[in-house]
Amino acid sequence: MNFEKRLEELFIELPELPAPSGAVVPAVSAGKCLYLGNHYPYAEGKLTLRGRLGFELSVDQGVSAARYALIQALSNLKSAAGSVNKVLRIVQLNVAVASAPDFRDHEKVADGASQLLQDIFGSSGKHSRIVTGVQSLPQNASVAVSLIVELK
């Protein structure tokens, strides 16, 4: 399957990545796996959908934030690997959700990113997943997404 073409069919344009903050690199390759660090919900070059789920943001807004963050991760993937067509499979998706103490819909938020991975990569996009609720994220981001990807 041509994943670059699939992105076009879904009208997804991979944006320029913001500069990494802190003493980190955006991606590390180890063997055939590529580890992509935290990505946040950027739209049109600006962090969007800030705040905590269950306080300032709804579940639907959280789903959108997870999708935006995943698109940032895919942009990083393309930059690091040269093409999203080099993906053999998505191994693991990690989603941190900034949320109110009584928020219970973390998995619904993470499904925004999980479903998009399967829409793009088909069976190669089926993955294991870790979803965590956190009190806060950098810059008041609502969601952070990281990936482990096996390359061809």
Residue 33 in any domain: the answer is: no
In this model, does residue 6 exceed pLDDT 90?
A: yes
User: What average pLDDT does this structure show over 15-30?
Assistant: 84
User: What average pLDDT does this structure show over 21-37?
Assistant: 90
User: What average pLDDT does this structure show over 17-29?
Assistant: 82
Per-residue model confidence (pLDDT) at position 17: 81
Q: For the stretch 15-42, what's the b/e string if a residue is b when 16 or more beta carbons lie within 10 angstroms of its beta carbon? A: eebeeeeeeeebbeeeeeebbbbbbbbb
Residue 129 in any domain: the answer is: yes
Per-residue model confidence (pLDDT) at position 79: 94
User: What average pLDDT does this structure show over 117-142?
Assistant: 97
User: What average pLDDT does this structure show over 4-30?
Assistant: 89
Residue 24 in any domain: the answer is: no
Supply the range of the domain harboring residue 102.
Answer: 41-151
Residue 109 in any domain: the answer is: yes
The total number of structural domains that make up the chain: 1
Residue 76 in any domain: the answer is: yes
Q: pTM (2 decimals)?
A: 0.95
In this model, does residue 18 exceed pLDDT 90?
A: no
State the Cα–Cα distance between residues 46 and 23, nearest whole angstrom. 21
Mean pLDDT of the chain: 95
The CATH number for 66's domain is: 3.30.1330.40
Per-residue model confidence (pLDDT) at position 22: 75
Residue 53 in any domain: the answer is: yes
**% of the chain exceeding 90 in pLDDT:** 90
Residue 133 in any domain: the answer is: yes
In this model, does residue 71 exceed pLDDT 90?
A: yes
Confidence band of 1 (pLDDT split at 50, 70, 90) = confident
Residue 8 in any domain: the answer is: no
